Amino acid sequence: MTNSAPATNGEKASPLNPDQSMAALAADLHSNPVFTRANVFTALFAGASYTLSGVLVAILLFLLWHGGRGLSLDFIFSRASPTSDVAAYGTAGVFDMLYGTICLVALMILAVMPVGIITGVYLCEYTDPKSTLARITRSAVNNLAGVPSIIFGMFGLGFFIYFLGGSIDSYLLGSAAPVFKKPSLLWAALTLAVLTLPVVIVSTEQALRAVPRAFRDAALGLGATKAQTLVKVVLPQAAPGIITGGILAVSRGAGEVAPIMLTGATIFSPTLPGSLTDKFMELSYHIYIMCTQPAHVEAGRAQLYSTVVVLLFLTFFLNVAAIVVRAWARRFMRRMSANI
């Protein structure tokens, strides 16, 4: 390009001179510039990804750093202090909240697993994925997963407490004082069960799809009926995946606040929940209440961070465990099907 004379300057670029364009092309092919658009943007995109991963790690480390120090068996097993008693808050534990959360989640799992597994099995084994029925059901599952959690709370209030609870009270018990027609452990657990239903259904379906078809063929070929094949062959193979679904549901349910604040969680109760109709204290709701009360934040910042870490063990780390189990199960399945 250096020898381009002023005469040829009149024309834009000089494609007419074959020697020059060939030379330029050769230079283009052999040069290896670092700051091409592609490289710059690739680096930018990589940076965005690293930032996001970094944010997660930073959040976890930050919380563990601040909350880990206050974590002890004593903290986990001592009783909570009344909300009004700010001074005692600094030495109070989380046992009531932990107990409430575990009761809540256990009831929720009892309710959600049967329904979720049966629906998943029906969707995967008994319907043609292209049929209208399967499409409607799957669409309902996806929609249910997208309903805001506060709407579940309103649904729990309107349906479970006022409608179901009210009906039980007036028709079955005939009592004037509300027994079931008030926020309680039972209704909160059922509300959460509805909320986590899609998680279980989708996990079950995915676990079933991962079972190699040859297993079913073999069982059917030996004369087993469809139900026998399902119970004796397919479900045991899919069990790890289904259990993962259960763990994911627990981790989702334990972290939700909006549904239970309307259907049964209470700020403070001096006794542990003894029956299904009692109100209960819950970890995530407790965190919400405490960090929106400046007096308590001042009294027990370390306490609050430790509570958050306890909650993270029930939600985030459980989630990680579930994903590890699922990855392991998937690899196991793949090896099985490769052997066949």
Residue 291, judged by CB atoms within 10 A of its CB (0-12, 13-18, 19+), counts as middle
Least distance from C-beta 187 to another protein, angstroms? 13
15 binds another protein (CB under 8 A): no
190 contributes a contact to another protein by CB under 8 A:
no
Cβ burial, residue 122 (10 Å; 0-12/13-18/19+): middle
* Residue closer to another protein (CB basis): 8 or 293: 293
Q: CB-based contacts of 335: which residues, under 8 Å, 6+ apart?
A: none
Shortest distance in whole angstroms from residue 168 CB to another protein: 16
Q: Residues 216-255 vs another protein: string with x where CB under 8 A? A: -x--xx---xxx-----------------x--x--xx-xx
**How far is 1 from 23, CA to CA, in rounded Å?**
9
Cα gap 266→263, rounded to integer Å? 9
Whose Cβ is closer to another protein: residue 4's or residue 62's? 62
**Whole-angstrom distance, CA of residue 317 vs CA of residue 315:** 6
Cβ neighbours of residue 267 closer than 8 Å, sequence gap 6 or more: 83, 281, 285, 289
Taking CB under 8 A as the rule, does residue 68 contact another protein?
no
With binding defined as CB under 8 A, does residue 157 bind another protein? yes
Q: Which C-beta is closer to another protein: that of 256 or that of 278? A: 256
Q: Are 137 and 315 in contact (CB under 8 A)?
A: no
Interacting positions 266-305 with another protein (CB under 8 A): 284, 287-288, 291-292, 297, 301, 304
Q: Would you count residue 64 as binding another protein (CB under 8 A)?
A: no
* Candidate residues 83, 149, 293, 337; the one interacting with another protein per rule CB under 8 A: 149
Pick from 5, 16, 34, 38: which binds another protein (CB under 8 A)?
38
56 binds another protein (CB under 8 A): yes
Interface with another protein in residues 97-116 (CB under 8 A): 114-115
- Which structure tokens are listed for 254? 């334990």
Q: Does 202 bind another protein (CB under 8 A)?
A: yes
Do 78 and 95 contact (CB within 8 A), yes or no?
yes
For another protein, the closer of residues 4 and 68 by Cβ is 68
User: d(Cα 340, Cα 338) in Å, to the nearest integer?
Assistant: 5
Choose which of 24, 64, 150, 272 interacts with another protein (CB under 8 A): 150
Q: Cα(247)–Cα(307) distance, rounded to whole angstroms?
A: 21
CA distance 216 to 212: 8
Distance from C-alpha of 197 to C-alpha of 113, rounded to nearest angstrom: 8
Least distance (Å) between residue 198 CB and another protein? 5
Shortest reach from residue 287's CB to another protein, in Å: 6
Spatial distance between the Cα atoms of 221 and 212, rounded to a whole number of angstroms: 15
Site for another protein in 310-329 (CB under 8 A): 311-312, 315-316, 319-320, 323
Among residues 4, 51, 167, 175, the one that binds another protein under rule CB under 8 A:
51
